[in-house]
Chain A
């Protein structure tokens, strides 16, 4: 069942519980009003509008066909069946093409590190899979089912932090959810089944046409994503990326890449043919030259 996140900006009071929860669950230093960087995967921007202050949340869109994953040459970024787009520390070579390719400029880099990681919101994917029944090794690190150390974006999880992570990613109903949605006191950020959340979003804008602009941001953008926003003011005014189009961005490159086999075969055959013909011509010319030489020698 693919998951998604729905953020209803009309409910958001700008308390910052989501940004704090995100820092806590990843054990990052807590900063207020963070900007997006390698230690802050979500932000809130307070924007003055006619409707009063609106808090524009931003996080990874978890695109259905992510440009970042299509760009990554080693497949470190991956769209999981869960809906989350994750990053594998053991694969990444640090080319940063994902950062260039992402239409929402989401992936961030540990510029100060000598073993830098690409960091971005992963919809708390690995955090949500963490359970109490996993074994712990002699040094106190949680092990995954295959016996390797449990890895969250290149960091191993200590047994003593496990309960904290599980608590932050378990909602009131006892279901596992993203830390930001669990922390949200207004239920402005909702985590759940993608189809159900789309239905909920559609219901809200239909039932309250005076409250909402008639748009679910994230539904059509770049061919569809897994993070949706509802708002009472147009998304342009909130600094959302509204010019990203509705086409799957990886299609732009795939259209070229898929032609490669044809190009190789056609050009290969053509070059081979040219080589053969011109080579033959050269040989014939040489042969005729030799014959001529022999004749003239004989005459002489």
Chain B
């Protein structure tokens, strides 16, 4: 118990420290501008806040549309229990992406200009539009959770009625902007390292987003199971992991072929920084998960699945940071003799945003019917009179999606 307590306080203290650092940087950022708070320069105009908070963040939130699609479009109902946490992650993720964007934009108060001065030739315009609409769609997809909590039956009915349309709209919007984050870089073929520049970037971005969406779902299910004593069936996690591995195999096969076709394999043994980063990316995103997944007792255990999914998440982050930052390093070096590494303030803000994400997720799980067993608890507490609170009450609980007898 004592050990447990000290662990909690350790993490809390660390989180507090980061949040404090983030706060200080926030003051500097909005008081004195980007120059004072970041390592960004004329030579390196985009850094960690775009590379991680926006480009990586949107990818990590891809579980929302992936799981919603599996369950509500393909009607594979056994994944129903993970849809809510996935949509919650997505919704929080997108909100935090917008927070990150407000830090990075030089003139954050004019963010709404994208609505009125539209440039349809700009990839960024498309991303902005999709992210904005999709965040609203996610809010609606998530709203049943809140409506249920406050038992607003009428609104619930309306939402349930339009859900299929919302889900399909959400998937279309996600396809567009997940891939477009890759398209952003299509305009700089001459600046990027051949490992990461490819005309296929949009396709790669989309497929890897699907994989990491599944991975994130496994990770957060496992973590919340530990933190909140919610249980999710192991076979379910294993099926998600299987799908994730399948998508990853497709992804890396395509990338391999693409590298060969563009003659980019010649660099593989040059020992350069870029090569090391590519190795790191492939190990984390493909090799380690594959090994873990195929080990006899690991692959079937919850820990094994967690660690392989977690490795994919880390690998995915490496990939996005490689595309947005590593791939430009050689260009910076040759043309300006500079190199970009995020400043302490940038790191603090990013870590704070991630911490905020964890905290909000935790609060939501605690107070809203996110995980199935929690839902049961609430239903039991709110709906059931003491006399029929037996196993019978559990069966009487309306199962979402199965209530049309």
Interface residues of B in 85-105 (CB under 8 A from A): 104-105
Q: Is B392 located at the chain interface by the 8 A CB criterion?
A: no
A35, closest chain B residue (CB): B42
Does A252 contact B175, Cβ atoms closer than 8 Å? no
The complex places the Cα of A92 from the Cα of B110 at a distance, in Å, of 8
The complex places the Cα of A282 from the Cα of B175 at a distance, in Å, of 26
The complex places the Cα of A197 from the Cα of B42 at a distance, in Å, of 31
Q: Known contacts A93-B114, A116-B107: does B188 contact A271 (CB below 8 Å)? A: no
Q: Known contacts A71-B124, A116-B34, A256-B202: does B172 contact A94 (CB below 8 Å)? A: no
* Binary A-proximity of B305-317 (CB < 8 A = 1, otherwise 0): 0000000000000
A98 to chain B, nearest CB (A): 9
Does A67 contact B74, Cβ atoms closer than 8 Å? no
User: How many contacts between A and B, using CB within 8 angstroms?
Assistant: 167
Does B110 contact A93, Cβ atoms closer than 8 Å? yes
Interface residues contributed by chain A, number (CB under 8 Å):
56
Q: Is B35 located at the chain interface by the 8 A CB criterion?
A: yes
Q: Is A186 located at the chain interface by the 8 A CB criterion?
A: no
The complex places the Cα of A229 from the Cα of B318 at a distance, in Å, of 41
* Binary A-proximity of B182-207 (CB < 8 A = 1, otherwise 0): 01101111110000000100100000
Which of B115-123, B215-223, B258-266, B374-382 lies at the interface with chain A?
B115-123
Of the four ranges (under 10, 10 to 19, 20 to 34, 35 or more), the interface on chain B belongs to 35 or more
Residue from A38, A91, A253 having most chain B Cβ neighbours under 10 A: A253
The complex places the Cα of A101 from the Cα of B192 at a distance, in Å, of 11
Does A278 contact B188, Cβ atoms closer than 8 Å? no
Q: Which residues of B have CB within 8 Å of A250? A: 121, 187
Query: Which residue of B34, B35, B73, B187 contacts A275 across the interface (Cβ within 8 Å)?
Result: B73
Query: Which residue of A116, A260, A271 contacts B171 across the interface (Cβ within 8 Å)?
Result: A271
Does A92 contact B42, Cβ atoms closer than 8 Å? no
Query: Which residue of B30, B75, B124, B176 contacts A95 across the interface (Cβ within 8 Å)?
Result: B124
The complex places the Cα of A37 from the Cα of B45 at a distance, in Å, of 13
Q: Known contacts A71-B122, A252-B189, A275-B168: does B110 contact A99 (CB below 8 Å)? A: no
Q: Which residues of A have CB within 8 Å of B27? A: none
A235 to chain B, nearest CB (A): 15
* Binary A-proximity of B346-387 (CB < 8 A = 1, otherwise 0): 000000000000000000000000000000000000000000
Q: Is A267 located at the chain interface by the 8 A CB criterion?
A: yes
Does A260 contact B126, Cβ atoms closer than 8 Å? yes
Q: Known contacts A111-B33, A249-B187: does B73 contact A271 (CB below 8 Å)? A: yes
Q: Is A140 located at the chain interface by the 8 A CB criterion?
A: no
Does A94 contact B105, Cβ atoms closer than 8 Å? yes
A93 to chain B, nearest CB (A): 5
Does B73 contact A274, Cβ atoms closer than 8 Å? yes
Does B106 contact A116, Cβ atoms closer than 8 Å? yes
Does B42 contact A113, Cβ atoms closer than 8 Å? no
Does B118 contact A75, Cβ atoms closer than 8 Å? yes
Does A257 contact B110, Cβ atoms closer than 8 Å? no
Q: Is B46 located at the chain interface by the 8 A CB criterion?
A: yes
Q: Is B41 located at the chain interface by the 8 A CB criterion?
A: yes
Q: Which residues of A have CB within 8 Å of B176? A: 260, 263-264
B26 to chain A, nearest CB (A): 13
Q: Is B288 located at the chain interface by the 8 A CB criterion?
A: no
Q: List 22 A-B contacts (CB under 8 A).
A: A67-B187, A73-B122, A74-B117, A74-B119, A92-B110, A95-B124, A97-B46, A99-B42, A101-B188, A103-B188, A108-B42, A111-B40, A111-B42, A112-B32, A112-B36, A114-B32, A249-B189, A257-B126, A271-B69, A275-B164, A278-B75, A281-B75
- Per CB-CB distance, the 5 closest pairs between chain A and chain B, nearest first, are A94-B106, A111-B35, A278-B75, A73-B125, A75-B119
